[in-house]
Amino acid sequence: MRSRTLLTILLAIAMASCGKHEPKAKYVFYFIGDGMGVSHVTLAKLYADSVLHDSTAMSFTRFPVTSLSTTYAHNRYVTCSAAAGTALSTGTKTSINTIGLTYDRTDTLYSIAKKFKEAGKKVAILTSVSIDHATPAAFYAHVGSRGSYYDIAKQLLKSNYDFFASGGFLEPYGTKTDSNAVSVYELGKVRGYQFTSSLTEVDSLVAAGAKSIVYSAPNPAPSSTLQYEIDRSESDVSLADITRKAIEVVDNPNGFFIMVEGGKIDWAAHDNDAATVIHEVLAFARAIDVALEFYRKHPHETLIVVTADHETGGLSIGNRENKYDFHVKLLHYQTASKERLHKVIAELREQNPKAKFDDLLKFLADKTGLSKDIELNENNIKMLKDAYNVAFKGLKSNEKTTYSETDPISKVSIQILNSKAAVGWTSGSHTGQPVPVFAIGSGQQLFVPLLDNTDIPKNIARAAGL
């Protein structure tokens, strides 16, 4: 009896001292790679190691905590970014296409970003796609349909978060059917929101005491997104650039919460475009490196969590054609995304509608290595010739998907290149595979073992003492 009492006392002391000394995560970074499965991370790491020979790249894969998370939605095993985003932001599963509401859309779910804001911390929401897209929206909006972009944007203006950065808005002037809509910019001005497309201007707005700043990249890619990393020029803004700026804006003694979405990993994976996926993951990793620089200055008060909302494409390392061989190096011949390739081919067609098949091959050699550095077999040439006949002789119109518009030539070229590199795709949509979780910093031990996506925001809040 006496020993049991002693044990109880000792346990109580241990627990009390644990609580007292466990440092709280005052600064939280939440990185969400949209569509980033284990294979996407592995492929980018293989590329960094064997093609770039850069041992410092993909540093998040060396975080002390590595785990997996399930992603299923309330009403479907293979989830979407709206349901998964809501799970990752609120800790509750919801139905497909729903953002920030319960599965039956009758009740509101609140994100941890709001919790951080209410606790007196500053909040920044960043993405490489548009700010009204599903993942960022899950941190401030409540809508029954993820496509209600104007509604979502209006709700952004009620969040009072400190900083937003993205490629812009999809429907800033209202939906097509609503001609009387007041623009998001007008509505925002009334609420004290400041809009800018200049990172330098962000500094002066902060200096002038601006409350909520909404930054949109000045040279957005289609659908108000940042340029694909593989297409990005020196002057285009990167995810790392906006992450660095966000830290400058929200760093303060009370702490902050920064969510960064690598949104176009998913888009490139929907396009089954492996080289573009690799460059998107590498760009995402460089944004994480910016957070790591901050972590190194405040290691006891910072938590960085990296995860994904779902896997996209059913990406595999190895394919049927190559059996056990893998040739990731071939992907470095690709110098433009499939989306950009499509655009350039359309221009080529306009300038030279009578271009010969050989002219096309020369062009492809330059952009993808096909026919020059990478040998084409008879079947490859037949596929490309068919695509050429369709594109240049108008046999069939272009194919348009939600994520990009691709002509048959860019589609077939990337398909051949991926197949030669031994990268396999089982889907043009999402899959139900678990996604990776990486954590470093205060509270990192909360992110093991196998998690469900709803555990992640709850654990982040716990680590922050909220």
Which positions lie near Zn ion, rule CB under 5 A?
A: 266
Is residue 85 classed exposed, middle or buried when 0-12, 13-18 and 19+ CB atoms within 10 A define those classes?
A: buried
**Least distance (Å) from Zn ion to the CB of residue 269?**
8
Instruction: Record the tokens describing residue 397, joined without a space.
Output: 């119109």
User: In the complex with Zn ion, which residue's Cβ is closer, 177 or 402?
Assistant: 402
Q: Alpha-carbon distance 379 to 159, whole Å? A: 55
Q: Alpha-carbon distance 244 to 174, whole Å? A: 31
Q: Are 461 and 112 in contact (CB under 8 A)?
A: yes
Q: Alpha-carbon distance 118 to 125, whole Å? A: 16
Q: Are 49 and 431 in contact (CB under 8 A)?
A: no
Q: Are 228 and 275 in contact (CB under 8 A)?
A: no
**Least distance (Å) from Zn ion to the CB of residue 83?**
12
**Least distance (Å) from Zn ion to the CB of residue 284?**
15
User: In the complex with Zn ion, which residue's Cβ is closer, 151 or 261?
Assistant: 261
User: In the complex with Zn ion, which residue's Cβ is closer, 134 or 360?
Assistant: 134
Cβ neighbors of 263 (< 8 A, separation 6 or more) are 34, 127, 128, 129, 133, 135, 225
User: In the complex with Zn ion, which residue's Cβ is closer, 171 or 266?
Assistant: 266
- Three-state DSSP class for 123? strand
User: In the complex with Zn ion, which residue's Cβ is closer, 261 or 266?
Assistant: 266
With CB atoms as reference, the residue minimizing the distance to Zn ion is 266
- CA 19 vs. chain centroid, Å, equals 34
Q: Alpha-carbon distance 437 to 67, whole Å? A: 5
Q: Alpha-carbon distance 102 to 85, whole Å? A: 13
How far is it between the farthest Cα atoms of the chain? 96
User: From residue 29, how far is each of 26, 122, 292, 343, 367 by CA, in Å?
Assistant: 10, 12, 10, 36, 36
User: In the complex with Zn ion, which residue's Cβ is closer, 75 or 427?
Assistant: 427
**Least distance (Å) from Zn ion to the CB of residue 34?**
6
**Least distance (Å) from Zn ion to the CB of residue 81?**
6
**Least distance (Å) from Zn ion to the CB of residue 429?**
7
User: In the complex with Zn ion, which residue's Cβ is closer, 266 or 280?
Assistant: 266
**Least distance (Å) from Zn ion to the CB of residue 99?**
14
**Least distance (Å) from Zn ion to the CB of residue 387?**
25
Q: Alpha-carbon distance 254 to 122, whole Å? A: 8
**Least distance (Å) from Zn ion to the CB of residue 310?**
7
For residue 23, whether the previous peptide bond is cis, meaning omega lies within 30 degrees of 0, is no
Beta bridge partners, 422, equal: none
Q: Alpha-carbon distance 99 to 134, whole Å? A: 7
Q: Are 264 and 228 in contact (CB under 8 A)?
A: yes
User: In the complex with Zn ion, which residue's Cβ is closer, 171 or 261?
Assistant: 261
Instruction: Record the tokens describing residue 209, joined without a space.
Output: 């005491």
**Least distance (Å) from Zn ion to the CB of residue 134?**
8
